[in-house]
């Protein structure tokens, strides 16, 4: 793999069709010499588009990037169904394929209206959700019965972009946890003819868009130092920020609770000298560290002591910090 890279940040990849999200992670890990790499939510192998990868130190914030809304462009075929909900599964005719010839945009629009806003959705059996401690897709592939509980998701916008029988194209802005395969499956059921997903492109995930995305083929050991990594601070624009005095940084490093006049929030970005040094929690007039970042140890003017002073030194004020 070569020398591990010390780079940190979020790399937005334009995932190609046919690869799993984990395969994309493996490719990036090789390019960065075995450095830590993680993704912020899977895309099915069929899907293409925005897949944000957390490189190095950015893996510490991966969990905070899962909750963002998503934007997709989806292509579905009416009149056929499959066990996976898309064209990669076992495809069979829908309940009434002949009905497709009778459909028009107005009929499809009426059906779509039931899926706008907050809806209850049953995830597909072939998904990475767990049932009894095992992945649902593992159980489904083994021929076992998969029963997943419905979940509430929100479709903020849902538009019919094109209708060319038997295919239609949808554009949707949805909450996290929305399965487009389930949406297409349920739309086909509502229209009485069945439907399956044939193409899916993610145009946005949280704050990350296709305009920032890099083709997977462009991510190599030779190009890694020129790739447009988004720093941790810029990747979390939705979180409130708290500015920390230099005199308080050492205490924050040691996990001590600091007084804070900022409004309650969890999590918050904690800055010191213009640098993101930690993620914290503000509650009841105090600031607690939730996750200390490597940058906290490199702020100029603050000694990088890893252990707090002895209690007797604290009493004498030898650490130079206010008490």
Residue that has been written with the tokens 């538009």 in this structure: 159
Beta-strand pair 241-244/265-272: parallel
Task: Find the catalytic residue in 14, 44, 186, 248.
Answer: 44
Is 86 labeled as catalytic in the residue annotation? no
Q: What is the DSSP letter of 1?
A: -
CA distance 172 to 94: 24
Q: What token pair was written down for 35?
A: 């450095």
Strands (E), the chain: 9-15, 37-39, 48-55, 70-78, 80-82, 91-93, 117-121, 130-131, 134-135, 151-164, 167-174, 195-205, 208-209, 214-215, 241-244, 258-259, 265-272, 275-283, 286-292
Q: How many residues does the chain have?
A: 323
What is the torsion angle, in degrees rounded to the nearest 10, for the CA atoms of residue 91, residue 96, residue 97 and residue 98? Answer: 170
CA distance 17 to 35: 25
Query: In the Cβ-directed half-sphere of 87, how many Cα atoms lie within 13 Å?
Result: 15
Catalytic residue annotation: 44
């Amino acid at each position: 793999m070569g020398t591990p890279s010390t780079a940190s940040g979020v790399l937005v990849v334009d995932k190609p069709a046919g690869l799993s999200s984990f395969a994309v992670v493996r490719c990036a890990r090789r390019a960065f010499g075995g450095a830590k790499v993680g993704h912020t939510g899977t895309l099915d192998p069929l899907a293409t588009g925005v897949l944000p990868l957390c490189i190095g130190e950015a893996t510490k914030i991966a969990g905070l990037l899962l909750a963002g809304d998503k934007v997709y462009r989806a292509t579905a075929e009416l009149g056929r169904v499959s066990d996976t909900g898309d064209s990669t599964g076992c495809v069979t005719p829908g309940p009434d394929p002949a009905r497709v010839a009778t459909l028009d945009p107005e009929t499809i629009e009426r059906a779509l209206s039931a899926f706008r806003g907050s809806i209850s959705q049953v995830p597909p059996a072939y998904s990475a959700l767990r049932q009894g401690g095992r992945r649902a897709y593992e159980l489904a592939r083994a021929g076992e019965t998969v029963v997943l509980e419905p979940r509430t998701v929100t479709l903020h916008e849902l538009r019919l972009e094109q209708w060319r029988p038997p295919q239609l194209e949808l554009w949707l802005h949805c909450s996290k946890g929305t399965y487009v395969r389930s949406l297409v499956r349920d739309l086909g059921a509502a229209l009485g003819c069945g439907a399956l997903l044939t193409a899916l492109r993610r145009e946005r995930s949280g704050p990350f868009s296709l305009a920032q995305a890099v083709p997977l083929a462009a991510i190599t050991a030779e190009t890694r130092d020129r790739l447009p990594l988004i720093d941790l601070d810029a990747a979390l624009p939705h979180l409130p920020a708290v500015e920390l005095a230099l005199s308080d940084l050492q205490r924050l490093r040691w996990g001590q609770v600091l007084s804070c006049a900022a409004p309650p929030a969890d999590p918050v970005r904690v800055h010191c000298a213009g640098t993101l040094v930690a993620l914290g929690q503000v509650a009841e007039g105090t600031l607690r560290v939730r996750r200390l970042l490597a940058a906290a140890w490199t702020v100029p003017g603050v000694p990088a002591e890893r252990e707090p002073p002895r209690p007797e030194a604290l009493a004498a004020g030898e650490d130079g910090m206010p008490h």
